[in-house]
Structure 1
Amino acid sequence: MDGMRKGGDLEEVEIDLDASDSEDLDNGEQPDTLWKAPSDQGEGESIQSSSLVDISDTKPLINVRDPRGMNDCLKVTFEDVIAEPVSVRSGDRVWIWSHALFEVSRIWVYRIVTVLLAIPMSILSGIIFAVLSCIHIWMISPCIKSILMGTRWLQMFWNVALDVIVRPLLTSAGRCCGGFNIHLAEE
């Protein structure tokens, strides 16, 4: 949106990616979104924005990792996986240690697998989406548009054929069958 501002060159914005600084958060303030640059709007300018504009499509949000709720099905807790009924119970220490080990292993195995797979998968996904976008934009869309332009006469012919032949036949059949009445009676 900055490129569309009136009468101004783009300014460079420095973005701090070090999310480990917690000095600003000690007083109870919410962390600022690291990827949003402050807007340089004048008093007379008013830009309507929606929630889709606030969410960046190209740069990750540090604090909100799933802003569109795509992975709500993965909100799994210990009680969702292991639940003991009232009639059958293990010892309290077993339950506490099981809960703690479940949470620790779930978090750390996820982190280790993420370290091993996230970067290669993001690179591979980026390449695949870039290639698919390029093919769609530069090959598929122009081919479809040229086919549609070349077959405009066929579309017009098809519409005339439907209006002249098919529509009267189906309208007549509908009127003929509309006169039938079926009455069901119990004996």
Structure 2
Amino acid sequence: MDSVRKGEDSEEVEIDLGDSSDPEEFENEEEPQTLWKAQPSLEEEENIHTSTLVEISDTKPLITARDPRGINDCLKVTFEDVIAEPVSVRSGDRVWIWSHALFEVCRVWIYRVLSVLLAIPMSVLSGLLFAIINCFHIWMVSPCVQCVLIGTRWLQSFWSIMLQILVAPLLTSAGKCCGGLSVHLAKE
């Protein structure tokens, strides 16, 4: 077995594992260059920002566009959609401003609190449910359907032949007979 010997064509690489948060190290305010990460070329950098795989990924959560497919467009509710005063009946300006502010604050913070309490358990349950459904479909339903389709190829061929021999001529002749009929509507 060939083994790599020390001292033969070996290149020594220095890796700095120091803390990057030390302010005294970077006085000219340049970012440290990591030796283990290659810098992308100009083309790669453009492709990174324009690639749909990076923008919509199954493994990386989307922070800016959280509803990219517009599933919850019906939930875009504002204060004016819920509370509206007609011109004839108006409350004071301060009441309207405070109502608007409290509505927005309550809507945002109650949603945040409920999402903290419910998002993680619902995500786990949804992931578990979809994993079970996918596993069941991939390993049970699809093979059974394929077995049935393979076993009934002769029936599919037989049914196709019977339709072509018996039903197609009857429907073709009925279509030709009814094709000569026309309906004229006249007002009396």
TM > 0.5 fold call = yes
Q: What amino acid maps onto 1:138 in structure 2?
A: W
The offset of 1:66, in angstroms, is: 1.6
How much identity, in percent, do the aligned residues show? 68
Q: What amino acid maps onto 1:164 in structure 2?
A: I
Distance in 1 between the 2:96 and 2:38 partners?
Answer: 49
Q: Which runs of 4+ in 1 moved over 6 A?
A: 41-44
The match for 1:160 is 161
The offset of 1:50, in angstroms, is: 5.2
The match for 1:142 is 143
SS at match of 1:131: helix
Write out aligned runs for 1:92-111 (5 A): 92-111=93-112
The match for 2:55 is 54
TM-score (structure 1 length as normaliser): 0.72
The offset of 1:38, in angstroms, is: 8.8
Structure 1's 144 and 50: CA in aligned 2 closer, same or farther, altered over 3 A?
A: farther
SS at match of 1:62: coil
The match for 1:123 is 124
Distance in 2 between the 1:42 and 1:77 partners?
Answer: 43
Gaps of 5+ in 2: 1-36
The offset of 1:167, in angstroms, is: 0.5
Larger radius of gyration: 2
TM-score (structure 2 length as normaliser): 0.71
Write out aligned runs for 1:1-187 (5 A): 51=52, 54-187=55-188
Structure 1's 149 and 41: CA in aligned 2 closer, same or farther, altered over 3 A?
A: farther
Number of aligned residue pairs = 150
RMSD: 2.7
If asked which structure has higher relative contact order (CA below 8 Å, sep 6+), I would say 1
